[in-house]
Structure 1
């Protein structure tokens, strides 16, 4: 059976794009946590690199994907193919 590589999936890249906004300082963890209705601590661990995207909860991933969908045009986010 072939192993699944989640890092190549479009939704993974959406989460990655949101995290990159935080790392770059474009947005605060408070803003995304509030908008996405997830814990600020979940966002902070991703931003600081103490947690990896592939290890976040399904609920957090869905919230960040939805945040991306709602805001990608506003922040000119694109996913690299």
Structure 2
């Protein structure tokens, strides 16, 4: 499995990683934002939710959802679709 997470820096608060390229098998990279629970909830592993959208994943409603779920202990990945 190819992962780019090892080289990323997590940013507090919200522990957010932006514009992570996720390679597809046809060579296309889809951008994803990864939200992790606050560090007060430990270092994982956590249950996760994958939200995919053809719209801007930085819309207020998506950010609100990510904050709500991370505060409840979930990791959230918001990925752009083709």
TM-score using structure 2 length: 0.30
TM-score (norm 1): 0.30
Q: Which has the higher contact order (CA 8 A, sep 6+)?
A: 1
Could you say which structure has the higher strand fraction? 2
- Which of the pair is proportionally richer in helix? 1
